[in-house]
Amino acid sequence: MNVLSSENPSRYTTRTLYAKSTYQTFEVGTYTTDPLGKFWDIHRLNKLRLRCFSYNNLFDSIRITQFYCRVNFHTRPTVSVQAPVGTVNTPSPVVKWRYQQEEGEPQKKAEYRIFTAVQVASSTFSPSTAPPVFAKTVQGEASTYTLPTSLNPDSYYVYVRVYSQHNAVSNWAGKAFTIQGPAPGVPGDDNAGVAGVPGVGVPTVVPDAFTSSAFLQMRDSSNLLSVQQADFEIATDPLGYVPTNAVLTRSTATYFATGEASMSVKASSAADMFAATTKIEVVGGAPVTIRGQVKAATSGRTAKLLLRQYDTDHVLLDATAVQAQATDETDTWTEIVATGTTLAATKYAELVLQVVAPAINEVHYLDHAGLMYGIGTAWSDGGHVSRNLLTSFLATGDDPAPSSDAWVQANSATTCQRVTATGLGSHGLKTHQMTYNAVSSSIGYRATGAVFTTPTTGTNYTLNKPAGLADNDLMLAFVTSTSHGTIVPPLGWTVANTSSVDDGSTDIALWVLKRTGLAADPSTWTGAVSASSSRRTAVVVAYSGAAHADQQFVVDNVKTDTSGALVHQTQTIYNSDPNAWRVAAFAASDDVSGGTFTANKQPPGSSDPGSIMFVGRSSAWKQHSDTTSFVINKPAGVQSGDLMIAAVGYSGQVDTATAPSGWTQVRRLHRSNGGNGDAHSGDFTMFVYKRTAGASEPNSWTGTHPSSEWGQPKMTVAVAYRNAETAANQFIAENGGTARGALSVSTGTVTNTNSRAWRISLFGATTPFGDQWDNGDVKERTDDTTSLSGFPDVHMAFSDSNGQISTGTHSRTGSFSGDVFTSAGWIGIIKPLPLSSNPPPGANETERVDNNNGSSNPWMSTAVYDSNGVAAVGLQSVYGTLAPGSGTSANAMSSWVGLIKPAEAAQAGTAAAYTNTTVDISDVDETVITSAKGKVTITAQFLGSTAGTPALGVEFFRANQKISEAAALGAPFNDTDWVKSWASFDVPAGTTRMRPKLSAIGRSVGDTVQFDRVGLSLGSTPEGVEPTWRDGTARPEHPVWSKPIIEYQDDDGTGYGDAWRVLPGQKTVGAEFEDASGNLLYTDHTIVPLHNRRYRVQTISYGLAGDRYASGWGPASNEATFTALDWWLKDISDLSKNLRLSVRWENLVVATANTATQFQPLGEDYPLVITEGYKSDTFTLKIHVTREEHAALKQLLNSGRTLLLQSDVDHSWWVRSIGDLSSDLLPTGQRRKNPRRYVTVTFVEVAPEE
């Protein structure tokens, strides 16, 4: 039996069957592909054939009664489109779909295609054949994809179909949506010369035959108003207008076209009323267009739209040169349009709506307001000329004030608030202010809020605000529950950590939340936990003088215990901040009765005092001069009772030394180098000292030695250990050894008799050049040198076992990397505290909360403690002891311990503020980062109660970790006029978030500094050029950068055709609008001689969230014709290297690669030609160069970049040089002074630069 396909019967499968005398069913085979190896589909099945032949006797017969196939098929998957749908405010929406396949097969891939609503309305429309606006295939199981391009405002359909793992394909599923994304204006030229009619998106083009280039001039015509000022669509943004004889509100009842809101202007008297924008920075001598849609609520009035113009000193220059008026109506919107030119001295402008003689309480509306460069410029959405990353509230301080964003103290000497804006050049009605209140030295306990407890089954909890809460206080909330789970914090709170036991019966969960508070905060917050429980407790503890919640903590950790022990030790953490406070929280579940907690940083009396631990080292003290004293610096983190061990090393022989007061000499080690023992001899002397730290220790101690001529240079270093016996009882054993001229030295041998002891080793030497000690002990703690390099240096290193050691004999050998004159080694066995000397039980942590929740099983106890003062530097933990009402065990315990970071240390006289949120730039398009050249600029204007100097800074974060900070002083401010300052900084690599920080120096207690018009913008201006401030917005679709995209068409004599191409080089030589004027002067160096070229331009805006917004394309420019004068070789990345070439006058042969190839099919008369057409050119030039031109040519050819070669005829190429360079030196009379050459270069045409 053969299975084959009618398409090609020469390929088949074979199976031999042995027939019987009765009918029998045979399975010929199971196939996943047809006999030709192609996957099955309906067409392959229709071509399936069975061929049967037999080897039977002459009179035998074979009878076949049935031939059939059983098709095991995979069910077609289904798909439904879930997004985008309805009106979408971003031009780059997220496409989301739902994949289903009843047999559970995963999705292999998905296709989506986007069409306009006009296309879909066609009677012949099919998503499989119609040309899409955009199409994408997404591989894998992803079910969402963000459109990687931008769509213009219009109505669209998105169609999606999916493939299963076995290539079963769904039907297309579609969904309608409308893009209503904010679009920038079409760029054009306000010069009415060769560009024709100005203000309609037409750039001016001026050809330059000498440099084979064209100069393009255009201006960004986007609306200069902010997002809110233009159409009032953002509920959380300030209006951006200042009223006179009026009350201004945002109205959602009346709006223009398809908007959502307008501005209501309500008369507060019968006099003319005005609504004026805050001051907009403009340039003088520029054509402008103002627009506004007006409507009356009840009575039509004369409405005027005018432009007030001010100079740099905020003096009004004019209010009539640009204005128009109309009578507004109640049943329709009326547009008022005026055009004109700003005065030469104009620096600021206000767009003003004036309603003449309204009745009191009469309402009129304004919408679609605009101030644009150009004559007769169309209205466009606001905000596209702004690069401000901040919200409008953070930038200006004007109402409404959101609950989430605020400026807060950046050091403990400052408080922040909003006040009424005053002074010449003020912005809006409100402004931010910081007040200097003098330096606060430490964290302080503020208060504890009322404890929330409930014995009722549920998931809710309530946080109660502590009494007396002040601005910038740190609030810590502790929520406990008898069910394991997760927590949903209230708005404005952040989960800091979770400690939870999940064993199904004795659960206990502890959540720690954090928030920076304001005095105006609500009295309560509500939240929920994920798992219902019968016991829930919540309490808030507040602290003053702490750093912002986003910066907390120095370190924190959690721990759980299900052993039933009543004593629970938190995790051990290391404190590196000497001004931090320690806070600990405990939660316990008990099935017998509730209990009370006590907390102590020392363990209870019946437990081990703890193992020896390393505390810290001192900074090394070094002396190169001839003196008779030495200084031992205190090791970091030392507490009362710690053991300190110090070493003093001398270059030379020192027989005796007087230890500092309170220090005891352990051993003196000396090794001679064979000389007289003076400072140059190479001798080494080392003293070892010990001391027990008291309750109050100085930062250093001073000792002496007899001769100033011996023992120079010298060095000291000290280390400290905790849970060790006092110095008087140290050491279990100690020993030392010396060596001369060897790279290693042994300590000698000691015997340990205590299995809880630690080993410490010390190695020192005199060396000609300092390097490092190796192989001293398990953990090196210090390694320092006097670093004279040439004079005998002292080099010493402490190391230890970093843990308990075995009993028996011990010795260590230190090896030095470098030359050694003489050396010494010392070893000591540190004796631990005996078990019998534990501190007494009890509480020495300050209790803030001790709550018992429940009257039956389970009982739950919640307790919070703090150090009520600074915690020592070093390792520490807290012991919580539960005293149950009855019984001797607990079900389970959870704990948290953390170190509160103090507010940033305040320099005396410095007030500082930063935002309580950071700006996330991780989604900003890479095009913006490249265009900004890795820079960020911060701007602000200041007004003080007294004169002073501001500082402007930016903090940089990777995720939530601060990685860098930069700051610079601004222009001095005064107490009458607002003064603008700015600074630009490099953005560190890896930055994903930024935060602005403003400060003022030289402040006295009670001084205030107001700040407004704050901007945080990517990019920078040239040195000495003032950046333009634009307002920000809270709208998620938030433009932060805009730039033109230039396209061109060439006419080589056959016409322009329909295709437009992106002008090469725009990525390399960025086309950017000027900050204040919106002007762009761009040189196109890529023209083709003897061709005609024309251009068109659009504006692309890039959003903070990765969105892209595109204007429409403007009309084609005037036609520019380029004559041919010279050959040019150009580097688009560095136009200063462009070189005019003198090419030898001879025939130029250009070879164009042809991809065509042929083969002759058998049985055919003619060959078959397969081709992709002609490709790139290759040609050779002989270039005549002088000495200087030869150097410039070689520099260009060696740049490794793609170059543009323009001929003196009708062609140009993007090229790379290939092959060898040959150079013919010409026999001229100036050969020795100015040699001339013919350089032969072969070029190949390559892809153009972007």
Per residue in 942-963, pLDDT (tens digit) is 999 999 999 999 999 998 888 9
Given the DSSP bridges, would you call strands 86-88 and 173-179 parallel, antiparallel or unpaired? parallel
Pair of tokens at residue 953 = 């800074």
pLDDT of 483 > 80? The answer is: yes
- C-beta of residue 981 within 8 angstroms of C-beta of residue 942: yes
Most confident of 576-590, 964-978, 1053-1067, 1106-1120: 964-978
Q: For residues 234 and 400, what is the distance between their CA atoms, to the nearest angstrom?
A: 11
Is the pLDDT at 790 greater than 70, yes or no? no
Q: What are all long-range contacts of 1218-1224, with beta carbons under 8 Å and residues at least 24 apart?
A: 1218/1178, 1218/1242, 1218/1243, 1218/1244, 1221/1194, 1221/1197, 1223/1190
For 977-1027, the DSSP string reads: B-EEEEEEEEPPTT--EEEEEEEEESPPTT-EEEEEEEEEEES-PPTTPPP
* Ranges of each domain in the chain: 1-73, 78-179, 187-222+380-386+1030-1121, 228-377, 407-439+908-1028, 444-607+840-900, 613-835, 1127-1245
pLDDT band at 906 (very low <50, low <70, confident <90, very high): low
Is the model more confident about 626 or about 109?
Answer: 109
| Secondary structure letter of residue 832 according to DSSP | B
Confidence class for position 1109, pLDDT limits 50, 70, 90: confident
Report the alpha-carbon distance of residue 1094 to residue 1097 in Å, rounded.
11
The pLDDT value recorded for residue 606 is 45
**Three-class SS string for 246-279?**
EEEEEECCCCCCCCCCEEEEEECCCCCEEEEECC
Q: HSE (CB half, 13 Å, CA atoms) of 544? A: 19
Over 50: is that where the pLDDT of 194 sits?
Answer: no
Q: How far, in Å, CA of 1211 to CA of 539, rounded?
A: 79
* Residue that wins the pLDDT comparison between 153 and 1243: 1243
The strand ranges marked E within 1161-1231 are 1168-1170, 1174-1185, 1203-1206, 1212-1225
Which CATH number among 3.30.300.30, 2.130.10.30, 3.50.50.60, 2.60.120.260 corresponds to the domain 228-377? 2.60.120.260
Q: Give the pLDDT mean for 255-260.
A: 84
What average pLDDT does the segment 328-346 reach? 95
- Is residue 198's pLDDT more than 50? no
pLDDT by residue (tens digit) across 653-687? 898 999 999 999 999 999 998 888 887 888 999 99
Distance of alpha carbon 699 from alpha carbon 701, whole angstroms: 7
The Cα–Cα gap between 258 and 333 comes to 13
854: alpha, beta or left? (left if phi > 0; alpha if psi -120 to 50): left
Contacts of 902 (CB under 8 A, 6+ apart): 412, 442, 443, 545, 546, 547, 577, 579, 580, 581
Alpha helices in 288-430 (DSSP H): 392-396
Mean pLDDT, rounded, for 524-553: 91
**The two three-digit tokens of residue 905, written as one number:** 């240390």
Query: Cα separations (Å) of 1165 from 93, 1158, 1161?
Result: 57, 13, 8
Q: Are 298 and 265 in contact (CB under 8 A)?
A: no
Asked if 880 contacts 586 with a C-beta cutoff of 8 angstroms, the reply is yes
Tokens of residue 935, six digits: 């820079």
Q: Could you tell me the CA-to-CA distances from 1107 to 137, 148, 289, 926 in Å, in that order?
A: 20, 9, 28, 12
DSSP 1174-1185: EEEEEEEEEEEE
Structure tokens at 1066: 């725009």
**Token pair of 232 as six digits:** 């009032």
Spatial separation of the C-alpha atoms in residues 984 and 952, rounded to whole Å: 9
Of 443-452, 617-626, 800-809, minimum mean pLDDT range: 617-626
With beta carbons less than 8 A apart as the criterion, state whether 599 and 865 touch: yes
The correct answer on CATH 2.60.40.10 for the domain covering 187-222+380-386+1030-1121 is yes
DSSP E strand boundaries for 812-922? 813-817, 822-830, 846-853, 859-870, 874-876, 879-884, 892-900, 911-915, 919-920
Question: Above 90 in pLDDT, residue 57?
Answer: no
Low-confidence winner among 14-18, 135-139, 428-432 (lowest mean pLDDT):
14-18
Confirm whether 78-179 and 187-222+380-386+1030-1121 share one CATH topology.
Answer: yes
497, pLDDT greater than 70: yes
Model-level pTM?
0.62
The CATH number of domain 1127-1245 is 3.30.70: no
Q: Kind and range of the H or E element at 601?
A: none
Using CA atoms, how far apart are residues 983 and 1027, in angstroms rounded to an integer? Answer: 9
Residue 35: band (very low, low, confident or very high) from pLDDT cuts 50, 70, 90: confident
Q: Which residues of 1147-1166 are buried (b: 16+ CB within 10 A; e: fewer)?
A: eeeeeeeeeeeeeeeeeeee
* Gap between the terminal Cα atoms of the chain: 63
pLDDT band with cut points at 50, 70 and 90 for residue 774: confident
- The region of weakest confidence among 225-229, 289-293, 491-495 is 491-495
pLDDT band at 750 (very low <50, low <70, confident <90, very high): very high
pLDDT at 842: 46
Confidence check: pLDDT of 505 > 80: no
- Say yes or no to pLDDT of 887 above 90: no
Q: If you count them, how many residues does the chain have?
A: 1250
CA torsion angle 475 481 484 485 (round to 10): -50
1170, pLDDT greater than 50: yes
The DSSP H or E segment spanning 448 is strand 444-448
C-alpha R_g of the chain: 41
Top pLDDT among 969 and 610 is at 969
Percent of the chain with pLDDT over 70: 95
The mean of the pLDDT values for the chain is 88
CA distance 811 to 746: 7
pLDDT in tens, 151-160: 777 889 999 9
Parallel, antiparallel or unpaired: strands 664-671 and 684-692: antiparallel
**Per-residue pLDDT tens for 352-392?**
999 999 999 999 999 999 999 988 888 989 999 999 999 99
Convert the pLDDT of each residue in 390-445 to its tens digit. Answer: 999 999 999 999 988 899 988 878 889 999 999 999 999 999 999 998 765 578 89
- Asked if residue 433 lies in contact with residue 418, where contact means CB atoms within 8 angstroms, the answer is yes
Residues 6+ apart with CB under 8 A from 75: 101, 102, 103, 168
Predicted confidence (pLDDT) at residue 607 exceeds the cutoff of 60 = no
Q: Residue 963 has which token pair?
A: 């990685």
The rounded Cα 922 to chain-centroid distance in angstroms is 4
25: left (phi over 0), alpha (psi -120 to 50) or beta: beta
1046 close to 1097: Cβ distance less than 8 angstroms: yes
Three-class SS state of 728 = helix
- Evaluate if residue 196 carries a pLDDT over 60: no
Residue pointed to by tokens 């005549």: 1184
949 burial level (CB within 10 Å; 0-12, 13-18, 19+): middle
Give the residue-averaged pLDDT of 459-483: 92
Judged against a pLDDT cut of 50, whether residue 797 lies above it is answered with: yes
Query: What is residue 596's predicted lDDT score, i.e. its pLDDT?
Result: 83
* Protein fold of 78-179: Immunoglobulin-like (2.60.40)
Token digits of residue 556? 């924190």
The answer regarding whether domain 407-439+908-1028 maps to CATH 2.60.120.260 reads: yes
Q: What is the pLDDT of residues 206-215, one digit of tens each?
A: 888 888 889 9
Is 217's pLDDT higher than 90?
A: no
H helices present in 262-415, as ranges = 392-396
Two tokens at 624? 């190169």
Q: What is the pLDDT of residue 838?
A: 41
- The DSSP annotation for 405-437 comes to --EEESSTTEEEEEEE--SBT--SSEEEEEEE-
| Burial (CB count within 10 angstroms: exposed 0-12, middle 13-18, buried 19+), residue 1225 | exposed
